[in-house]
């Protein structure tokens, strides 16, 4: 699934002036929304690592791997991980 946060997203002003970076909570919101579109609901995030910044307008790819009540997620830009984590489905 594609992820791209527009430069006019309301969370971006002040995050960070002159060097805008998409907040991690916005990316996690996209993960939760993707899980819901896939027919699930995210109950809890067990772990997440933010590995690289995503800038407004950059294209990234979100992948999900479901295994019973567990879900692994990853967002990559050009094959490089931006974040990865694992959670529990409701």
**Is the pLDDT confidence value at 55 over 90?**
yes
Supply the pLDDT for residue 19.
Answer: 87
Q: Please identify, in words, the CATH class of the domain defined by 2-89.
A: alpha beta
What whole-number distance in Å separates Cα of residue 83 and Cα of residue 90?
22
Longest dimension (CA), the chain: 43
Q: How many CB atoms lie within 10 A of CB 44?
A: 9
**Is the pLDDT confidence value at 36 over 90?**
yes
What whole-number distance in Å separates Cα of residue 59 and Cα of residue 56?
9
**Of 13 and 76, more confident:** 76
Domain residues of the chain, as ranges? 2-89
pTM higher than the cut 0.75: yes
Q: What mean pLDDT comes out for the span 60-82?
A: 97
């Amino acid at each position: 699934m594609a992820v791209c946060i527009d430069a006019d997203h309301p969370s971006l002003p002040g995050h960070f002036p002159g060097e805008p970076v998409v907040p991690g909570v916005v990316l996690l919101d996209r993960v939760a929304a993707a899980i819901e579109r896939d027919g699930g609901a995210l109950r809890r995030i067990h772990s997440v690592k933010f590995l690289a910044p995503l800038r407004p307008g950059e294209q990234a790819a979100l992948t999900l791997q479901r295994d019973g009540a567990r879900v692994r997620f990853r967002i990559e830009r050009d094959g490089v991980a931006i974040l990865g984590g694992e959670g529990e489905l409701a």
